[in-house]
Structure formats: structure tokens, C-alpha cells
């Protein structure tokens, strides 16, 4: 059982169809996981690590909450120390840190803006000096600002979305690569929207398309060094991003238009990141794994 939240039950929460979330809205991004009702499911108490990432060092951007939190905890269960780079959600970050430390692993918290080149560089350097190296980079931080039509997307919004979702990934990867060695892995969070497109999130979908192309190019670039580069394309997942970016009346039916007729929970993403981070995926590079309730196969 979780020490911090009443555990809602992996089975119940993940199997309810359709889930109707209470309408809710948070006024700014990044959203806060502590304000969400119900809280996302980010840890499966039945998941017991088997040392797949023993003594590795991982850096997870956006690791304080949502998908990144579930990934960070699963990495710790598999034996990794984790640096979490996040914007300013200190309470969410402290909760994730406590879960990681409960696994007997170290957790370094670094708060700041990944749009800033010097912040990206220093985050990598602090991780290497505090945790003794870097083996796994998870590029997961992101924002989205739905708008009706390109005429309603301010240029500032388009630039901001690219700065966080793509330029941040480019810079984190650029500064991480000198420290990565044979067996290291890079995993980025794309989205099903890179494949389906979305008329409400034209700029956001485009950043996710860029991440797919970046993943393929970096995989080719680093393969001779024995470094593998992959991505995950989630479908609709119950995380702070949703109430912080959607109007309250869009929340109750969130995820119900997927073939599985429900949103996913962050915990359902974590094993895929463990797979891509570990030697289990030793013959996999340049790929995008779709964890989306079947959403990417919809026409
Ligand atoms: P989340 O809000 O929990 O995570 C996003 C994180 O990005 C935040 O925790 C925040 O700390 C970080 N962040 C935002 N701006 C930042 C900045 N300027 N500098 C540093 N960090 C910053 O939500 P999530 O849904 O878990 O998002 C994780 C990733 O998953 C994002 O890339 C998102 O686009 C992607 N994704 C989410 C969904 C979904 O339905 N939730 C679907 C597809 C893809
Ligand atoms: Mg957060």
C-alpha cells in the first residue's frame, strides 16, 4: 500500500470503463498532481524490481509528476538513482523523491526551466557530479495549450511550446551525450498526436512529430557508440497536464474516445520506459512504442 496516497487499486482504476473524471481545471502549467481528483495511479505495489537498472544513473525531465513520476519510481525499483528535473512543483517533486528513497535509491531534485541552455547544461553536470555519472536520459517535460485553429495560436505560444517540448530535448541530449557510454539509453516522450494529428493542438502535435524525427536521427548518430535512442508515444493519460490545459467540461470524458474507452494511468507507461532503458531492449533503437489504448490505430 502507498504511504502517501490511499492506493486506489491498480485493478479497479485501470479497468473501469468508461472512467468519468470529476470536472476540474487548474489555472496554470505545469499543473499540480496534489490537486488532482482522483490522484493518478503512479505506483503498482505488485511491481517488484529485479535489478534491471542496478546502480545506473537516470535523469528524468518532468519526473516530479505524471508519467515522469511513475517512470522515476519504477527506475528506482529496478535499482537506479534518479535525478528529477522539473519546473517549480516542489511538493510533487518531494513526494516522488520520498518514493525513490523508499526504494533505497538516491534522488537529486533540480528545479528550473529547460528552455534555458545554461540550466540544461548545469542539470547534466550536477547529475554527473552528485550521482557519479549518467546512463539514462528521459526527455519527458512538456506543455500543451489547446486552441481552435491556427489563427488562434499566438506565435509566442507556438515558440514557447517548441522551446519546452523540443528545444529542451535537443539541449538536454546535446549536453548529456558526452557523458553517455556503451549501453546508455535515451528515451523521449512523444505522443499519439504525432501520428494522428489534432486540430486543437496543432503546435503541440508538431513538437511531438519533431521528437519522432529527432529520435530516429539520434539513434542513427549514436548507434556506433552502443547508445540506443527510442521514444514512447502515450495516448490520453491521467496526469496534471490535462486539468492544467483543458477546460473543466472536457475532463469527465477524457480518454473515452480510445478503442479501450478509457484514459491510461501513468503506472501503465512505466514498464515500457524500463524496457527501453534496460538491456531487455538491446536490439531496439530508433523506435517509438505506442502505449495508447489503441488510439494510434483509429482513423
Ligand atoms: P506532467 O504535467 O506531470 O509532466 C510534465 C512536466 O513537464 C511537469 O512535471 C513539469 O515539471 C515539466 N515542465 C514543464 N515545463 C517545463 C519547463 N519549462 N522546464 C522544466 N520542466 C518543465 O504531465 P505528463 O502528462 O506526465 O507529461 C509528460 C509528457 O508526456 C509530456 O511531454 C507530455 O507532452 C507527454 N504526453 C502526455 C500525455 C497525456 O495525456 N498526459 C499524452 C501524450 C504525451
Ligand atoms: Mg509536474
Residue 173 lies in a domain: yes
Give me the pLDDT at residue 298, please. 72
Inside any domain, residue 22:
no
Asked whether residue 44 is assigned to any structural domain, the reply reads no
Q: How far is CA 253 from the centre of its chain?
A: 22
Q: What angle is formed at CA 165 by the lines to CA 161 and CA 166, rounded to 5 degrees? A: 105
Structural domain of residue 146, as residue ranges?
A: 54-292
* Number of separate domains in the chain: 1
Mutate which of 67, 70, 258 for ligand 1 pocket (most atoms within 8 A of beta carbon): 67
- Digit-by-digit pLDDT tens for the chain (299 residues) are 333 333 455 566 665 555 689 999 999 999 999 999 999 999 999 999 999 999 999 999 999 999 999 999 999 999 999 999 999 999 999 999 999 999 999 999 999 999 999 999 999 999 999 999 999 999 999 999 999 999 999 999 999 999 999 999 999 999 999 999 999 999 999 999 999 999 999 999 999 999 999 999 999 999 999 999 999 999 999 999 999 999 999 999 999 999 999 999 999 999 999 999 999 999 999 999 999 999 999 76
Q: What pLDDT score does 267 carry?
A: 96
Strand partners, 186: 137, 229
Alpha carbon of 224 to ligand 2 centroid (Å): 35
Best mutation site among 30, 166, 253 for ligand 1, i.e. most ligand atoms within 8 A of its Cβ? Answer: 30
Kindly report the protein residue whose alpha carbon is nearest to atom 9 of ligand 1: 62
List the catalytic residue out of 204, 273, 275, 283.
Answer: 204
Residue 76: alpha-carbon gap to chain centroid = 15
User: Does 179 qualify as catalytic in the annotation?
Assistant: no
- The verdict on residue 74 lying in a domain is yes
Nearest C-alpha to atom 22 of ligand 1 is from which residue?
87
Any domain includes 40: no
For residue 14, tell me if it sits in a domain: no
Residue 261, domain CATH = 3.40.50.720
Nearest atom of ligand 1 to the alpha carbon of 165: 32
Q: Is the CB of 267 under 6 A from ligand 1?
A: no
Query: Tell me, what's the pLDDT at 6?
Result: 38
- The answer to whether residue 35 is domain-embedded is no
Q: Is 104 among the domain residues?
A: yes
Whether 234 is in the pocket of ligand 1, judged by its Cβ within 6 Å, is: yes
Cα dihedral across residues 30, 196, 192, 220: positive or negative: negative
Burial of 208 (0-12, 13-18, 19+ CB in 10 A): buried
Amino acid at each position: 500500500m502507498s504511504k502517501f496516497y490511499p492506493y486506489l487499486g491498480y485493478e479497479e482504476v485501470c479497468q473501469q470503463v468508461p472512467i468519468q473524471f470529476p470536472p476540474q481545471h487548474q489555472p496554470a502549467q505545469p499543473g499540480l498532481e496534489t490537486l488532482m481528483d482522483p490522484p493518478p495511479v503512479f505506483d503498482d505495489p505488485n511491481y517488484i524490481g529485479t535489478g534491471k537498472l542496478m546502480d545506473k544513473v537516470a535523469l528524468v525531465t518532468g519526473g516530479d509528476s505524471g508519467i515522469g513520476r511513475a517512470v522515476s519510481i519504477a527506475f528506482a525499483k529496478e535499482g537506479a538513482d534518479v535525478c528529477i528535473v522539473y519546473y517549480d512543483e516542489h511538493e510533487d517533486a518531494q513526494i516522488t523523491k520520498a518514493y525513490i528513497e523508499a526504494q533505497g535509491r538516491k534522488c537529486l531534485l533540480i528545479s528550473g526551466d529547460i528552455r534555458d541552455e545554461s540550466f540544461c547544461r548545469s542539470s547534466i553536470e550536477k547529475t554527473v557530479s552528485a550521482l557519479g555519472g549518467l546512463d539514462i536520459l528521459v526527455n519527458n517535460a512538456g506543455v500543451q495549450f489547446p486552441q481552435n485553429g491556427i489563427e488562434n495560436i499566438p506565435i509566442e505560444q507556438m515558440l514557447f511550446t517548441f522551446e519546452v517540448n523540443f528545444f529542451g530535448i535537443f539541449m538536454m541530449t546535446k549536453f548529456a551525450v558526452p557523458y553517455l557510454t556503451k549501453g546508455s539509453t535515451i528515451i523521449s516522450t512523444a505522443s499519439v498526436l504525432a501520428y494522428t494529428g489534432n486540430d486543437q493542438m496543432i503546435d503541440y502535435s508538431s513538437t511531438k512529430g519533431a521528437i519522432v524525427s529527432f529520435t530516429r536521427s539520434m539513434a542513427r548518430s549514436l548507434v556506433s557508440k552502443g547508445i540506443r535512442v527510442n521514444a514512447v508515444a502515450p495516448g490520453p493519460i491521467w496526469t496534471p497536464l490535462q486539468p492544467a490545459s483543458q477546460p473543466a467540461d472536457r475532463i469527465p470524458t477524457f480518454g473515452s474516445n480510445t478503442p479501450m474507452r478509457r484514459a491510461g494511468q501513468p503506472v501503465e507507461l512505466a514498464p515500457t520506459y524500463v524496457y527501453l532503458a534496460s538491456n531487455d531492449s538491446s536490439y531496439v533503437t530508433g523506435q517509438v512504442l505506442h502505449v495508447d489504448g489503441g488510439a494510434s490505430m483509429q482513423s
